[in-house]
Amino acid sequence: MVGNTSENNTKKQDLVIIGGGAVGMAVATHVQRHGNYNIKVLSKDSHTAYSQCGMPFVLAGDIPDFNKLIVKNLQFFKDMGIDVRLNTQVNSIDLENHTVHTQIDTVRYDKLVIATGSSPSIPEPLKEFIKMDNVFTLRTLSDGIKIQNNLEKSKNLVVIGAGGIGVEIAVAGVKRGISTTLINRSKNVLSHNLDSDMSQILQNHLDSKGINLLTGHTPVSINGSDTAESVTIKENITGKIKNISVDTIVISTGVNPEVSLAKNAGISVGESGGLLVNNKLQVKYDNKYLDDVFAGGECAQVYDFVTGNPFVSQLASTARRMASVIAENLLEKTSTFTPITNPWIGVIGDYQVGNVGLTEKTAYKNKINTVTGSSTGFTRAGYYPGGEKIYIKLLFSNRCLSGAQIIGRKGVKERIDGLSLAIRKKASIDDMLKMETCYTPPVSELVDPITYAVKDAYKNMDNQKYD
């Protein structure tokens, strides 16, 4: 019988965690400190407990070594009594018999956590070239080390895909003195995070850094035998073909939830492609949610706070919160995971770039009528040296804040965090007009730029329309 009935005894239960990333290791350490489990972590990775988010900054030279990204080493987990097995491929899960099967043995569980993360999404025309010795994706620490070794002997870098990781890698290339081309199918960089007007601010900055930015272009082939020598791209509008010489290629065109293992075991997959879980992050099997199998991170489906739509969050901060919910439920302290606003920030060159909630694109897709307000302000009083411009765009729907985008050299994260809470609290434009902000010349203007963006949206309320 699938499912597990709790027993009142002190015997240690067996907790098996598949995946040694942000969710897996956070669950393992939390439960080991506060629970009564024998814990095994099975990971196909060759490293564990490291920061994926920091890898582009090692490539840029901002962090001196990939080893600096390892938060805890294997000895730390061994000393805690956690059995971490790296380079271990789990081949199947048997929910009926409470076992998982690796390439070398069978492991029994009382409780199971699936934290298999995601895998790179490669455009169909490029899949046949991914095994070339200078074509890479960036998902693991090993990937990062391979890319760095290749960049050390490269003069020409091509990055395919201008999402968050892609633009960070492109900036890393020019910081290393490498001729860098960034290719993007969309006309806008960070098109999932920014509207076109805000994206243009960032694109101008990337141009100023010396990146050869080719938006509105699609790669059609990578040329060479074992080693890539050039990339052939096509301009989307004109169909014009162009070849770009290359020593290193990094493909950064998104990820897919890694759900094949769970799906093959009969666990349900949601419409977003992530595993279907309830608010306790328990998986669904045979039309019911199991009390002994959990899933979290990039392999699990979550829900958007504003639209209610299912999606898969790729944020480390989301993964960490999901790990806490799973751990608390394993410890029989009821905890739930609710819909999220998904606040994001990146550092792109000299700019901090953040967004939360809706963009105009997602609003239009979901038939949500929005009003926008924008402002350009400064991070310090006008007379105080060192002030920098900050660009703010807010979106309101039904008079409530529903989205925000901010670009600046300083002051982005704290504003995005505050606006994320305002969205969750369904703050109205009238509430936002009454918002009080602190002031001192070295860190702010007397009137915060957010206030001017709110006032701009208020003026636009009478002309509400789709853009």
Q: Are residues 46 and 100 in the same domain?
A: yes
Q: Are residues 222 and 128 in the same domain?
A: yes
Residue 3 domain-assigned (yes or no): no
pLDDT grade for 463, boundaries at 50, 70 and 90? low
Q: Are residues 213 and 225 in the same domain?
A: yes
Q: Are residues 138 and 111 in the same domain?
A: no
Residue 404: pLDDT over 50: yes
Residue 104 domain-assigned (yes or no): yes
Alpha helices, H only, 331-448: 360-365, 412-424, 429-433
Q: Are residues 318 and 372 in the same domain?
A: no
Residue 5 domain-assigned (yes or no): no
Q: Are residues 135 and 245 in the same domain?
A: yes
Encoded tokens for 303: 């829900």
Residue 6 domain-assigned (yes or no): no
Q: Are residues 199 and 210 in the same domain?
A: yes
Average pLDDT, the chain: 95
Answer with the one of 308, 330, 352 that is the final residue of a domain: 330
Residue 60 domain-assigned (yes or no): yes
pLDDT given for residue 51 in this prediction: 96
Residue 124: pLDDT over 90: yes
Reported pTM: 0.94
- Cα–Cα distances (Å) from 446 to 146, 427, 441, 443, in that order, read 49, 22, 8, 10
E-strand ranges in 103-211 read: 106-108, 111-114, 118-120, 135-136, 156-160, 179-184
Q: Output b/e per residue, 75-100; b: 16+ Cβ within 10 A.
A: ebbeeeebebbeebebeebebeebbb
**Mean pLDDT within 205-231:** 97
**Mean pLDDT within 13-35:** 98
Number of domains in the chain: 3
Q: Determine contact, residues 187/380, Cβ cutoff 8 Å.
A: no
Q: Model confidence over 252-294: pLDDT tens digits?
A: 999 999 999 999 999 999 999 999 999 999 999 999 999 999 9
Residue 310 domain-assigned (yes or no): yes
Answer with the one of 237, 253, 269 that is the final residue of a domain: 253
pLDDT given for residue 10 in this prediction: 72
pLDDT given for residue 295 in this prediction: 98
Q: Are residues 158 and 173 in the same domain?
A: yes
Of 284, 278, 279, 283, the C-alpha closest to 294 is 283
Angle, vertex CA 17, rays to CA 314 and CA 73, nearest 5: 80
Q: Model confidence over 133-170: pLDDT tens digits?
A: 999 999 999 999 999 999 999 999 999 999 999 999 99
CATH of the domain at 213: 3.50.50.60
pLDDT given for residue 462 in this prediction: 72
Answer with the one of 219, 236, 253 that is the final residue of a domain: 253
pLDDT given for residue 2 in this prediction: 55
What amino acid occupies position 423? I
pLDDT given for residue 4 in this prediction: 47
Q: Are residues 111 and 131 in the same domain?
A: no
Beginning with the edge strand found earlier in the chain, give each strand of the sheet holding 156-160 in spatial order. Answer: 135-136, 248-251, 156-160, 179-184, 212-215
Q: Which domain holds residue 362?
A: 344-463
Q: Is 229 helix (H, G, I), strand (E, B) or coil?
A: strand
Residue 164 domain-assigned (yes or no): yes
What amino acid occupies position 207? D
Residue 452: pLDDT over 50: yes
**Mean pLDDT within 176-192:** 97
Q: Model confidence over 425-447: pLDDT tens digits?
A: 999 999 999 999 999 999 999 99
Residue for token digits 């505050």?
A: 418
Report the distance separating Cα 301 and Cα 303, nearest Å: 7
Q: Are residues 277 and 326 in the same domain?
A: yes
Report the distance separating Cα 315 and Cα 317, nearest Å: 5
Residue for token digits 């009080």?
A: 436
Beta bridge partners of 233: 219, 242
pLDDT given for residue 465 in this prediction: 44
Q: Model confidence over 48-97: pLDDT tens digits?
A: 999 999 999 999 999 999 999 999 999 999 999 999 999 999 999 999 99
Q: Is 23 helix (H, G, I), strand (E, B) or coil?
A: helix
**Mean pLDDT within 328-345:** 97
Residue 397: pLDDT over 50: yes
Q: Are residues 441 and 353 in the same domain?
A: yes
Encoded tokens for 361: 């694109």
Residue 8: pLDDT over 50: no
Alpha helices, H only, 192-315: 196-208, 260-264
Q: Determine contact, residues 316/52, Cβ cutoff 8 Å.
A: yes
Residue for token digits 């920030």?
A: 345
Report the distance separating Cα 43 and Cα 74, nearest Å: 12
Catalytic residue, from 53, 299, 400, 438: name it.
53
Q: What is the DSSP letter of 12?
A: P
Q: Determine contact, residues 353/194, Cβ cutoff 8 Å.
A: yes
Residue 2 domain-assigned (yes or no): no
Annotation marks residue 400 as catalytic:
no
What is the radius of gyration, based on Cα positions, of the chain? 24
Encoded tokens for 128: 């046949």
Q: Are residues 411 and 452 in the same domain?
A: yes
pLDDT given for residue 271 in this prediction: 97
Residue 331: pLDDT over 60: yes
Helix (H) or strand (E) holding 444: none
Q: Model confidence over 193-214: pLDDT tens digits?
A: 999 999 999 999 999 999 999 9
What amino acid occupies position 217? H
Q: Is 222 helix (H, G, I), strand (E, B) or coil?
A: strand
**Mean pLDDT within 296-316:** 98
Residue 36: pLDDT over 70: yes
**Mean pLDDT within 360-369:** 97
Q: Output b/e per residue, 63-74; b: 16+ Cβ within 10 A.
A: beebeebbeeee
Residue 219 CB contacts under 8 Å (≥ 6 apart), including other chains:
123, 125, 126, 160, 183, 231, 232, 233, 234
Encoded tokens for 339: 């819909």
N residues, the chain? 467
pLDDT given for residue 147 in this prediction: 98
Helices and strands: H and E segment counts in the chain = 12, 26
Q: Determine contact, residues 56/138, Cβ cutoff 8 Å.
A: yes
pLDDT given for residue 466 in this prediction: 35
Q: Is 275 helix (H, G, I), strand (E, B) or coil?
A: strand
**Mean pLDDT within 43-50:** 96
